[in-house]
Amino acid sequence: MMTTTVTNQDEVDSLAERLATESQGYAGHLTEREGAFLAVLAAHGPGEGVVLEIGSFKGRSTIILARVEQETKGRSNVVAVDPLTSPSVTDPSLDGAASCRDVFFGNLERAGVRESIEFHECTAHKLSLDWVRSIRLLWIDGDHTYDGVTSDFVDFSPHLAPGGIIAFHDVMHCAGVTRVFAERVLRSGSFGVAGVVGSIGWAQLRVRGSVDAHARDRFRLADRLEHHAAVVESGDSRRKKAFAKLLRWRVPHDAMTAQEFVSKIDPGIPVQFAGGVASGSRTRS
């Protein structure tokens, strides 16, 4: 395992690309573009607290999060939760196995992060019952049904640190995720800047007292995503296919570099890297 101390945005981008490429060696559905963006979120997401992953499966995103923490902060502060049994109808198949525990822990071992993760083998709701810690990055990739995503949002979003980031996987593919992201995040004045990269929908919790300068953009994005969800739910496969194509240009979801991300988020909160405050991290482009 290669470990370095990363202190600036260019280094974050090359770290993100490296981890995203490596992550494709572990089973999962996160694409390289999404993996690189998740790494940028973990490196530059502001706020105090832990990184919480809901839904680990065989560890693809877990490993990215832990490695970024190790290489930018010098220590991992990642908590992950998953019963590892794929209980939801939206979960990936375990191909007849009762659990993916052995593969998950084997992958963490192989990536050198087994000791760096605080892992809870249970549902997110069970973990939430005693949860009191502040969360700086809330990564939701568990039960993708509307009720499942709502439950994750309701249980954990109250713990998001001011300026912290919430991110959902599969906003472009699963209507349940799309709707919760649109209704609870994009249409809420509690959140500020937001967007989509690949199929990751993300937003920054506003710092109390800050001006909501992004409401119009968030509402436009919500309108488009909700329209998409309605088509996906309609069950008409010809319309679905046609709309999915249309959506590709109606919802911007291109890759985003560390510098682009940093230029968009609220600059009020400094990001602490192991080598000091991220150099140039708050210069707006």
Ligand X SMILES: C[S@@+](CC[C@H](N)C(=O)[O-])C[C@H]1O[C@@H](n2cnc3c(N)ncnc32)[C@H](O)[C@@H]1O
Which residues are at the interface with ligand X (CB under 6 A)?
Answer: 28, 30, 54-58, 60-61, 81-88, 91-92, 123-124, 141-143, 148
Which residue lies nearer to ligand X by CB, 69 or 141?
Answer: 141
**Rounded to an integer, what distance in angstroms lies between the CA atom of residue 25 and that of residue 32?**
11
* Beta bridge partners of residue 79, listed in sequence order: 52, 118
Amino acid identity, residue 225?
A: L
**Cα 59–chain centre separation:** 14
Directed axis angle between helix 60-68 and helix 32-44, to 10°? 40
**Rounded to an integer, what distance in angstroms lies between the CA atom of residue 38 and that of residue 186?**
19
Strands 135-140 and 50-54: parallel
Which DSSP state fits 8? B
Q: What is the nearest approach in angstroms of ligand X to the Cβ of residue 101?
A: 10
Which residue lies nearer to ligand X by CB, 13 or 82?
Answer: 82
Q: What is the nearest approach in angstroms of ligand X to the Cβ of residue 226?
A: 22
Which residue lies nearer to ligand X by CB, 62 or 77?
Answer: 62
**Rounded to an integer, what distance in angstroms lies between the CA atom of residue 117 and that of residue 100?**
17
Which residue lies nearer to ligand X by CB, 86 or 259?
Answer: 86
Which DSSP state fits 157? G
Which residue lies nearer to ligand X by CB, 167 or 269?
Answer: 167
Q: What is the nearest approach in angstroms of ligand X to the Cβ of residue 279?
A: 30
Q: What is the nearest approach in angstroms of ligand X to the Cβ of residue 205?
A: 21
Q: What is the nearest approach in angstroms of ligand X to the Cβ of residue 280?
A: 30
Tokens of 36: 């690189």
Strands 191-197 and 160-169: unpaired
Contacts of 114 (CB under 8 A, 6+ apart): 105, 108
Which residue lies nearer to ligand X by CB, 82 or 266?
Answer: 82
Closest-approach residue to ligand X (CB): 28
Q: What is the nearest approach in angstroms of ligand X to the Cβ of residue 23?
A: 8
